[in-house]
Amino acid sequence: MAKTYFITGTDTAVGKTYVTQNLLNAAKQQGFSALGLKPIAAGCEQTKAGWQNDDALALQSASTCKLSYVEINPFAFKDPISPHLAAKNSGEVVSATMLQEKINPLLKKDVNLLLIEGAGGWRVPINDTELFSDWVNLLQIPVIVVVGMRLGCLNHALLTFEAIRQDGLSIAGWVANSIDPEMKQLSENINYLQSKLPEPLLATFSYQLDNNPNNLVDLRSAIELLI
């Protein structure tokens, strides 16, 4: 049975895909099998194979378990906006039950590590009445939080952790991802979060202009904790 985690962020554009890719690659480098999924992607381009998203393609490429694109990303929408609006614009509906039907068979895949990347932050709506977090509650899997290190991240991080705990889910750890090259007192901000969050800091990523998942980050201890 795969060790399965849901990857969320403190906001959109905080580097969830970049972190997920790095974790998948680190697991592979240590001899483990790994699979990354992106159930909902808003912001896709039309291809010969249908609508596809760069983030989902990146996770597909980083996985050792080779699945079709539609398995990796069953709900792909054109507009780079909130999933519930992107689905409406495409004339489609997404629900927690539908997500469960699409992803549940993949939870049985014979891999060591399975990472499921969300869209945006923890409370992103998938329709007019349900949030992405409602589906994760159905899954009942641990959460990894990517904290985008920039001004305002302390508030975003503490509120995100509070919401996840209120939902009754466990948090496996968090990643500090530097997304603002000019952020002042970065280390002090990370130290503050470490003092307030009982969950382990899995890794710290320095600012990378190209978000290249091949940039070297020592994730051996993170993989040991997760697998």
Q: What are the residue boundaries of the structural domains of the chain, listed by start? A: 3-226
Residues of the chain where predicted confidence (pLDDT) is lower than 70: 216
From 3.40.50.300, 1.20.120.1230, 3.30.70.2190, 3.30.1330.10, which CATH number describes the 3-226 domain? 3.40.50.300
pTM as predicted:
0.96
H-helix or E-strand spanning residue 3: strand 3-9
By CB atoms closer than 10 A (0-12, 13-18, 19+), residue 194 is: middle
Q: What is the DSSP string of 62-107?
A: H-SS---HHHH-SEEESSSS-HHHHHHHTT----HHHHHHHHGGGG
d(CA 35, CA 150): 29
pLDDT at 218: 87
Q: Which of 139, 71, 135, 131 is closest to 97 using CA atoms?
A: 135
pLDDT at 211: 83
d(CA 36, CA 105): 14
H-helix or E-strand spanning residue 189: helix 186-196
161 neighbors 187 (Cβ within 8 angstroms): no
pLDDT at 43: 96
pLDDT at 174: 98
As annotated, the active-site residues are 38
pLDDT at 216: 67
